[in-house]
Amino acid sequence: MVSSRDFRPRCDARDVTSAAMAAACGRGLLAPLGGRLRACPRASLRSLTSAAPLYDVVVSGGGMVGSAMAAALGHDIHFHDKKIALLEAGPRKEYHLPESYSNRVSSISPGSATLLSSFGAWDHVCNLRCKPFRRMQVWDACSEAIITFEKDDLDDMGYIVENDVVMSAVTKQLDAVADRVEVFYGSRAVGYTWPLPSHSCDTSPWVQVELADGRRLQTKLLIGADGHNSVVRKEAEIQNIEHQYDQSAVVATLHLSEATDNNVAWQRFLPTGPIALLPLSDTASSLVWSTSHEHASELLTMDKESFVDSINSAFWSNVNHSDFIDAAGAMFRSALSLLKPSGTAVRQLPPSVANVDPESRAVFPLGMGHATEYVRHRVALIGDAAHRVHPLAGQGVNLGFGDIACLTHHLSAAAFNGQDLGSLKHLLRFETERQRHNVSLIAAIDLLKRLYSTSLSPLVLLRTWGLQATNALPPVKEQIMAFASK
Amino acid sequence: MRIAEWGEDRPAERKGTESSGTPRRRPCCRRTRGAGGPERDDVGRRGDAPRLRPRPERPAGCGRATVRRLLSTSQSSVDPKEMRKFQLLAHRWWDEQGEYSALHSMNDIRVPFIRDTVLNMGSAYQRGSPLSGVKILDVGCGGGLLSEPLGRLGASVTGIDPLEENIRAADQHKSFDPVLAKRIQYKCGSLEEIVEESVETFDVIVASEVVEHVADLEMFIKCCSQVLKPGGSLFITTINKTQLSYILGIVVAEKIAGIVPEGTHEWEKFVPPEELERLLEANSCSVKTVNGMLYNPLTGSWSWIESTSINYALHAVKSGDQAQTSQTEPLSEMESEQCSATAGTSV
């Protein structure tokens, strides 16, 4: 059953791979390490690597998800006597809360907030800066269809937090367990050597990690959290289903024209892509506008006034409406109100934008990806290394935090049973659990993206009626909210 | 070096012994052996109820400088036939999908059983190492399948096995992990051999899937009791001797489904829990728990069940002044009963 996950030993150098990787990672040259990406003959490795320090877990990639994984394990009671290492290519950053908001923000679901508080990071986030939102309004640009989400008890649906704030909070908690978790800054892993399956054990059974500065580490379990261009995933030769969207996301920090009780997240589906306004404070919101590459570069370069005007008109203009669709939509709505006299929720109007923070505009390309396998013998992928989604549902980092919660749970149980941490048995349980959750969500997000990328009448009609019907069914909405906030 | 070759080399060192498939013969004997039936001790006992013959020789495979004893008065609980079965598979211990996959997955229930029982006996719990400070003897450790998880939980484990190939495989597997290499010590030999130097040294003895391969069960239990500290725990997992265990444990498991290699078990050597309990009580160990276990070949996993008809796990505690008692344990009651009983009958 698991023989396909055993690695085939390879001894040939692969310069092509190194150049491709250098390009893909967008980093400097890997020239000195060119041919060493494949394993040396394994038999000789034993003497070489017996001196390399052995860790129980090495997390490769020190972003939000990688750092949180290391922190979660470091704070776990059953990992008290284990050695964990976190490899981060960038330097250590000291964070001081700036006056202005960063343009990279994430929507943190209640489930992710629970994970962060499980190792004490959520308190730091709240002390720094975060904005809870209570309501989400999503509507179409081509019709009057609208759907609103809010919790019955008016509890917080989620939190908008700057990525830097999350990083700072997690780093603080990493420092608190520095005796167990060793963080290697400025250390990029350039090569991995995979062990042979456990029963042919004349050579080291551990994963060998080679760093750019020549240092070596050994580990019983390697967790790849190195983003959607994951080197771990590529080196492990795990197939990745990926697709570059013909869209880029424009982000910016906006100032509203008037102070308001800013606790609603707004999203409107335009034919070119969804535009979202996420609350940061009573006077500021963050923009995430997914649109075509050309329009994105236009938006980036246009002057402030035109930029603000485009945003406002994107939210307010009805230019994409057609009479036919409006009539059909109205008819359906009245039909629904016959069945459900309480009717659909009241449509609120989004706040209007007055100004944009200078130098807060940025663009990044969008794509979708999903690894066919999340785990191998002694390897696990989490976060964007395993799956990459469109930001339209605000789920990207939440899926990663969900992976962390699940993997930590299984590793903790395995450690308490004295099991070998890299054993496929519990790694497969993690994979099954997460794939079951992720695949449906990723497919749904991709479907929504494609469905809303068109202005063809039949599809607009379909999605209009679909949205209106969903909006009229609280049980369905509750299910959606529950699934997305795990 | 093929394991088979290793076995074949042995005849050069000793004459007419294990490698030829039979124990040492007396000149006038003729051995008969039924299919799967018990071995008969022919000397003057033809037709009697089967009795396991005492082993006169030191077990095979134990070091090149083995002293060959022609006839020893001490009895050994090691059966060379059993050892030969395992000799051929010594390199397969650590293949989780191989012949020993059922033993690997048994760790999922036996390690928590041992861990939780020891924790409940009241020793101080150190975070991350629930078994730290506990000295464990793993009898019949094989390739170290059970010793390693116990070592990872913080215990100091001594693993003994009569077969040198097993010890070698176990040593090699643990050598890559410096923490385990320190915590676990493997020794080649039988339980009897370490009794003299290890009287009352271990907090816990684990004999998992061993007593059904042992030649002299009484002596085995006696040695366990001697080596165990007063108040120490003895954990045994084995197979019951019932019709159901014959059907499932031998016919299905070996012949049909191939869960264990054929010939691994002999039904005659299976031990019912009542017999084990009797032997334990006779050696001042009181049985605390008996739990049935069931293997699901479809999922490859073990679970606890009520019935002990097939596999079962047993926990016994050696009585003594240093017994750790919890409120629910009836140990103190039994002790006082025994004391009063013996007091009544002592001379």
Q: What single DSSP character describes residue A32?
A: G
Most confident of A49-53, A419-423, B343-347: A419-423
Model confidence over B273-317: pLDDT tens digits? 999 999 999 999 999 999 999 999 899 999 999 999 999 999 999
Q: What single DSSP character describes residue B33?
A: B
Tally of residues, chain B: 347
Q: Are B100 and B145 in contact (CB under 8 A)?
A: yes
Q: Between A260 and A417, where is the model more confident? A: A417
The answer to whether B277 is a known ligand-binding residue is no
Judged by DSSP in three states, A176 sits in helix
User: Which of A466-479 are b and which e, b meaning 16 or more Cβ less than 10 Å from the residue's Cβ?
Assistant: ebbbebbeeeebee
- Say if A78 is an interface residue toward chain B (CB within 8 Å): yes
Calpha distance B298→B101 (Å, rounded): 12
Percentage of chain B with pLDDT > 70?
A: 70
Calpha distance B54→B41 (Å, rounded): 9
For chain B, helix (H) and strand (E) counts, in that order, are: 11, 8
How many residue contacts between A and B have a Cβ separation below 8 Å? 64
pLDDT value of position B256: 83
- Residue among B89, B92, B93, B97 with most chain A CBs within 10 A, to mutate: B97
Calpha distance B93→B104 (Å, rounded): 9
- Say if B112 is an interface residue toward chain A (CB within 8 Å): yes
Structure tokens belonging to residue B169: 């495989």
Model confidence over B117-157: pLDDT tens digits? 999 887 677 777 899 999 999 999 999 999 999 999 999 99
- Say if B127 is an interface residue toward chain A (CB within 8 Å): yes
Residue A421, pLDDT > 50, answer yes
Structure tokens belonging to residue B151: 């070592």
Mean pLDDT rounded to a whole number for chain B: 76
Q: Where are the alpha helices (DSSP H) in chain B?
A: 3-9, 80-87, 101-120, 147-152, 164-174, 178-183, 191-195, 217-227, 243-244, 273-282, 331-345
Calpha distance B42→B31 (Å, rounded): 7
Residue B232, pLDDT > 50, answer yes
Q: Which residues contact B138 (CB under 8 A, 6 or more apart)?
A: B144, B146, B147, B150, B157, B158, B159, B160, B206, B208
B113 CA: distance to closest CA in chain A (Å): 10
* Amino acid at residue number B191: L
B111 CA: distance to closest CA in chain A (Å): 6
Residue A483, pLDDT > 60, answer yes
Calpha distance B101→A429 (Å, rounded): 18
- Say if B150 is an interface residue toward chain A (CB within 8 Å): yes
Q: Across-strand partners of A197?
A: none
Calpha distance A103→A164 (Å, rounded): 10
The answer to whether B91 is a known ligand-binding residue is no
Q: Between A37 and A408, where is the model more confident? A: A408
The answer to whether B168 is a known ligand-binding residue is no
Per-residue confidence band for A372, with pLDDT thresholds at 50, 70 and 90: very high
Q: Is B95 in Cβ contact with A199 (below 8 Å)?
A: yes
Average pLDDT over residues A23-34: 38
pLDDT value of position A208: 94
Q: What is the phi/psi pair of residue B295, to 5°?
A: -100, 130
Rounded alpha-carbon distances, angstroms, from residue B43 to B28, B31, B49? 9, 10, 13
Structure tokens belonging to residue B43: 């000397």
Per-residue confidence band for A450, with pLDDT thresholds at 50, 70 and 90: confident
What's the ipTM? 0.81
Contacts of A2 in chain B (CB under 8 A): 97
Q: Across-strand partners of B295?
A: B302
Q: Is B111 in Cβ contact with A425 (below 8 Å)?
A: no
Q: Which residues contact B9 (CB under 8 A, 6 or more apart)?
A: none
